[in-house]
Amino acid sequence: MVVNVDLANARKAVSFPVEELTHFINGGPEKTVRRRWLRSLVDPQNDPIFSNINQPFLSRDQYYILMIKRFKKMLQLKKLHNLQKDDWGYLIIFTMELSISTLHDLFFTPTLERQMSEEQSSKWFPLAKEYSILGCYLQTELGHGSNVRKLETTATYIHETDEFEIHSPTLTSIKWWPGALARTSTHGILFARLIIDKKDYGIHSFIVQLRDERHKPMPGIEIGDVGPKYGYNYNDNGFLRFTQVRIPRENMLMRFSKVSRSGHYSTPPHAKIIYDTLVSNRINFLELSTLFLSKALTIAIRYSLVRKQGDDYKDLKNENLILDYQSQQYKLFSGLALLYASFFNKIYMQKLYENYIKNIGKIDDNLMAEVHASSAGLKALCTDLVLEAIENARQSCGGHGYSQLSGIPNVLTYYAHLVSAEGENTIMYLQTGRYLLKSFLIAKKGSSTGGRLSHLSFYSKILMEKCAAETLEDLLDAETQLCAFRHMYLRLLSDLNTSIETSATTHPHGYDGSKADHMIDIVHLSRAYCHYITLINSHEGLQSVKKEQSAIYPILRALIDLYFINAALNQSGDFLIDGYYTSHHISLLKQGQKKLLNIIRPEAIGLVDAWEYCDNNLNSALGREDGNVYETLYEWVKMEPMNILEKQGKIVGYDEGLKDILTGKYLKEIKEIEIGKVKPRL
Ligand SMILES: Cc1cc2nc3c(=O)[nH]c(=O)nc-3n(C[C@H](O)[C@H](O)[C@H](O)COP(=O)(O)OP(=O)(O)OC[C@H]3O[C@@H](n4cnc5c(N)ncnc54)[C@H](O)[C@@H]3O)c2cc1C
């Protein structure tokens, strides 16, 4: 492999041990070894089914078929090597076989495991684990997604036969969007209104068989595909209409809520417990975010170290590498800063969630509220910022970034749905914001809020603080960064609460009505708070990096400092409004931003190479490991099916219309056929 000279030189200039960063990303050297081995299992050189080379030219159905074939192959590898949960998860993510397995492994199977009684689970869980049944998650309807409480599908208990009757009573109650529903799944976890003796007990979950042994829809079930989407087109997102479908009573998921043979309903210990899978998937979204962003940045940074454009003002004979432009560095290194901050968020949330799961059923209300609020807000902030950063990475590749062959549009259009799915982002921010407002009111009354909000007890003291930093170094001190964001978000929280309370006194709908008139501010507050907890998670994570992987600490610290500066400058008004920062602080932060870009510049290639994506996985002509961008683009365009046909003598479109236009035949046809028939419009 002849590596592009600029890319090779950039790799030589990296000052930190890249492999150590790889170990950190993977969770230790043993995991790196294991992951490299897993990667070799799906190397297209061993089995061409894993080759992505033709993927941009495939139609929806061709792509779906390829994914099904690959999935079958991967299940064989799983059996053969007895791959367990972590290995399997990595393989799925690495190959991006996300359609079937995400829905089945991340939504369907864990819900069976966690929401079913032991007896139910012993029946269904082994079937799901062995893929003898394939499942999807049937929540969203045509008319309602975010507002789960207003879902309309009904599950009515029939005393006589000890069954539930599942029905879609209206057009808007048709299930719409669920992934892997249209063709793949045999079963689904259904969210429907539980009705017993005409009483509505709200939304509960049920397992429903969708297709029979010959894979035909069950009686009373109409299933179809929702059609082409913005991206992620190989996934068979579907619609589903029930017409009085009967399922046994035992198909209701009864770990928490129960319905007895006599139709007696018993209540769950905590109403929100059935949304447990949602929380865990928000955390999975944090992981997916780091993977998708690292892919896009690997492509864009490698390309920016190969692409030359614009004269070097120091030596007009030379052209600059585009990564040497400060503006390009800002676009891409801000993405790197976000990538590693999101990585620290993911680590923190995984630990918090493990603790939550261990104690499920006997959960303390405060922990539950904190897990819900943090997972909601961080999911929203992270996916919002990552989507923006992937788009920035695409734009930073100029015109070539618009080509599917760059690999970025595929990453971007797949990733884009994460801002809407598993809790639409605005609604997630609002949930976190309301939690903050509620906690603030508790603190104001003198009660303790605990957990990460224990500082609310000293809110009035914090609101009096002013930043004492005099130099950039002072400003970037970890504790000073956290104090700044804590002060800023608390200022927003306190002012917002005052404003809501003031207008509530005259609002016809009181406090709630006034809150509804402050939605933009609640979202703004929520984002500020999430930046604050991202910084806490990052600095806590950095402490252990400093102890255990000291060689990569300085560069990771520089990235988190850049994250802090970017977030602070984007909200500089909120820091200036009560004089916490002065204009001197803002100008120091601007200087710091540029200084950090210079520090990161020589390390950038190491920060993306550490993710160890191979060419087949990136599937990008621009992000090639050897930097042979132009050769690859030229080679790949030859695979475009219309170019292949032309080589075979068939010029697509010529006989179908172009020839008539160019020879003037189209005019003759008008004269012969149309003239005189068409009346001019008045
Ligand atoms: C690719 C893809 C895969 C999906 N997979 C699945 C799946 O497997 N299973 C499944 O069940 N669903 C799935 N979904 C559906 C997805 O979960 C929902 O689309 C998502 O929850 C958003 O809900 P919605 O579409 O009803 O948006 P809406 O709630 O209608 O949002 C539209 C707009 O209204 C605003 N809005 C709505 N309510 C409020 C409010 N109370 N306050 C302020 N603003 C509000 C939102 O902020 C947004 O701007 C999938 C969707 C996509 C795109």
Residue 270: the pLDDT is 59
Could you tell which of 174, 189, 288, 420 is best to mutate to test the pocket of ligand 1, judged by most ligand atoms within 8 Å of the CB?
420
CB of 148 within 6 A of ligand 1: the answer is: no
The band of 354, judged by pLDDT with boundaries at 50, 70 and 90, is confident
CA-closest candidate to residue 234, choices 96, 136, 128, 140: 96
Does the Cβ of 441 fall within 6 Å of ligand 1? Answer: no
Residue nearest to atom 7 of ligand 1 (CA): 178
What is the band of 273 on the pLDDT scale with cuts at 50, 70, 90? low
**pLDDT tens-digit map of 644-669:** 999 999 999 999 999 999 999 999 88
Ligand 1 atom with the smallest distance to the CA of 138 is 11
Testing ligand 1's pocket by substitution, the residue of 107, 139, 140, 184 carrying the most ligand atoms inside 8 A of its CB is 140
- Ligand 1 in reach of 137 Cβ (< 6 A): yes
- Cβ 178 under 6 angstroms from ligand 1: yes
423 CA → ligand 1 middle, Å:
7
Provide the annotated active-site residues: 422
| pLDDT bracket for residue 679 (50, 70, 90) | low
What separation in angstroms does the CA of 217 have from each of 179, 184, 524, 565? 16, 11, 46, 55
Q: What is the pLDDT of residues 364-410, one digit of tens each?
A: 677 778 888 889 999 999 999 999 999 999 999 999 999 999 999 99
For 154-203, the pLDDT digits (tens) are 999 999 999 999 999 999 999 999 999 999 999 999 999 999 999 999 99
Q: How far apart are CA 110 and CA 511, in angstroms?
A: 39
Q: Whose CA is nearest to atom 43 of ligand 1?
A: 427
pLDDT of 106 above 90: no
Interval 82-104: pLDDT, tens: 999 889 888 888 887 666 777 89
**pLDDT score, position 360:** 65
pLDDT per residue as tens digits for the range 482-494: 999 999 999 999 9
How does DSSP classify residue 171? G
Per-residue pLDDT tens digits for 404-415: 999 999 999 999
For ligand 1, what atom is nearest to the CA of residue 137?
A: 9
Q: Are 344 and 541 in contact (CB under 8 A)?
A: yes
Joined tokens for residue 325: 């432009």
- Could you tell me the pTM of the whole model? 0.94
Q: In the prediction, which pLDDT does 253 show?
A: 96
Question: β-strand 315-321 against 308-312: which pairing, if any?
Answer: antiparallel
Compute φ and ψ for 138, nearest 5 degrees. Answer: -100, 80
Distance from Cα 350 to the centre of ligand 1, integer Å: 24
Average pLDDT over residues 73-79: 93
Is the pLDDT confidence value at 611 over 80?
yes
Does the CB atom of residue 462 touch ligand 1 within 6 A? no
Ligand 1 atom at minimum distance from 179 CA: 8
Selection from 407, 421, 375, 397 nearest residue 96 by Cα: 407
Task: Report the greatest alpha carbon distance in the chain.
Answer: 89
pLDDT in tens, 490-547: 999 999 999 999 999 999 999 999 999 999 999 999 999 999 999 999 999 999 999 9
Average pLDDT of the segment spanning 596-614: 97
pLDDT of residue 362: 63
Question: Which atom of ligand 1 sits closest to the CA of residue 136?
Answer: 8
